[in-house]
């Protein structure tokens, strides 16, 4: 029974909570900022995006073990930072970092905590940019480390499981920016395919055990849209999620709210640019005075 309970909790976490945590950090599964620093760039631009995210996940577990049945209620939050440098007119590189923590109940008899850090790196290609629209195609690699703790207590079992996973794989997508006065709408689509290794350690009334396993790559697809209020450089989102993974996420609902602020150093901006320029010197005009003829 303990093995079944741990497998149920692990399955829910890896198939539902993990994709949610990954994309909540990357601002990415609902009405949410796309996983790139800003909706456009010019050669020489340097952009920094800082964000915070709140997540709530709910659902129900139906297990052959009656004591494992019940609702899933998980709350979480995280912070992230993404930096970009446009080293060509149409090409830029970005680097990000994020941290995430969540905790809650999985059924009547299990509690969980999840901690994760993630580092994505992307190349961006911008084939279109004008006063009305801009388009960015991005692709790269993401590395994540996950720590999961599960405590299961039933009438006959008191057991703890600690799971550590290292996940990595490619990601990519496309973003369109539609510019309307002070607002910019940024619909996007992306995918992520992660695989890695997982280590499981258990201890409690049923004894101790440990094992290692490989997590086979699974590809998830996401789409969303964000709204940017340009005068304040702020995005405030509440997202719509679409996850494609063999229907494993049916019955679970995820809600995410993100707040992001953008800093930018436009190309050509240098220290001292804000100093007042010296007034242009005008050519001096001299009045001609004829020589005094006294002779």
CA distances to 67, 74, 193 from 252, in Å: 20, 11, 21
Q: Is the pLDDT of residue 239 over 50?
A: no
Return the CATH number at 242.
Answer: 2.40.128.100
Mean pLDDT of 264-274: 55
CA distance 159 to 287: 101
242 or 177: which carries more pLDDT confidence?
177
CA distance 224 to 175: 10
CB atoms near residue 205 (< 10 Å): 11
Confirm whether 216 is domain-assigned: yes
Mean pLDDT of 30-51: 83
Q: Tokens for 49, please give them.
A: 């995006």
Residue with tokens 């609702």: 71
Q: Tokens for 33, please give them.
A: 């900022």
Confirm whether 211 is domain-assigned: yes
Confirm whether 206 is domain-assigned: yes
Of 209, 20, 38, which is closest to residue 118 (Cα–Cα)? 20
pLDDT of residue 119: 93
Q: Is the pLDDT of residue 91 over 90?
A: yes
What does the CA dihedral 176, 177, 178, 180 come to, rounded to 10 degrees?
Answer: 170
Confirm whether 81 is domain-assigned: yes
pLDDT in tens, 141-163: 999 898 888 888 777 777 788 88
pLDDT of residue 233: 75
Confirm whether 273 is domain-assigned: no
Domain count, the chain: 1
Confirm whether 227 is domain-assigned: yes
The contacts of residue 181 (CB under 8 Å, 6+ apart) are none
* Domain of residue 53, residue span: 2-265
Report the relative pairing of strands 234-237 and 133-153 from DSSP bridges: unpaired
Mean pLDDT of 236-245: 43
Using DSSP, state whether 144 is helix, strand or coil: strand
């Amino acid at each position: 029974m303990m093995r079944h309970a741990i497998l149920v909790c692990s399955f829910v976490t890896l198939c539902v909570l993990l994709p949610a945590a990954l994309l909540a950090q990357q601002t990415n599964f609902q009405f949410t900022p796309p996983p790139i620093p800003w909706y456009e760039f010019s050669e020489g631009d340097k952009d920094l995006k800082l964000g915070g995210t709140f997540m709530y996940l709910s659902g129900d577990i139906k297990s052959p073990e009656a004591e494992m049945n019940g609702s899933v209620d998980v709350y979480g939050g995280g912070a992230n930072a993404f930096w970009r440098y446009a080293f060509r007119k149409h090409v830029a590189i970005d680097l990000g970092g994020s941290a995430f923590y969540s905790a809650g109940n999985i059924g009547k008899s299990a509690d969980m905590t999840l901690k994760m850090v993630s580092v994505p790196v992307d190349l961006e290609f911008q084939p279109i940019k004008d006063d009305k629209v801009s388009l960015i195609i991005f692709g790269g690699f993401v590395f994540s480390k996950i720590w999961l703790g599960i405590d299961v207590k039933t009438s006959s079992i008191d057991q703890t499981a600690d799971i550590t996973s290292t996940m990595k794989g490619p990601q990519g997508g496309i973003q369109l920016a539609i510019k309307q006065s002070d607002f910019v709408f940024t619909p996007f689509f992306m995918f992520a395919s992660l695989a890695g290794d997982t280590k499981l350690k258990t201890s409690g009334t049923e004894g101790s055990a440990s094992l290692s396993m490989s997590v086979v790559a699974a590809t998830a697809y996401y789409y969303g849209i964000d709204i940017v209020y340009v005068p304040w450089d702020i995005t405030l989102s509440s997202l719509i999620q679409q996850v494609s993974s063999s229907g494993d996420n049916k019955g679970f609902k995820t809600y995410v709210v993100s707040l992001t602020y953008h800093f930018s150093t436009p190309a050509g901006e240098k220290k001292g640019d804000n100093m007042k320029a010296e007034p242009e010197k005008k050519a001096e005009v001299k009045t001609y005075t004829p020589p005094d003829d006294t002779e």
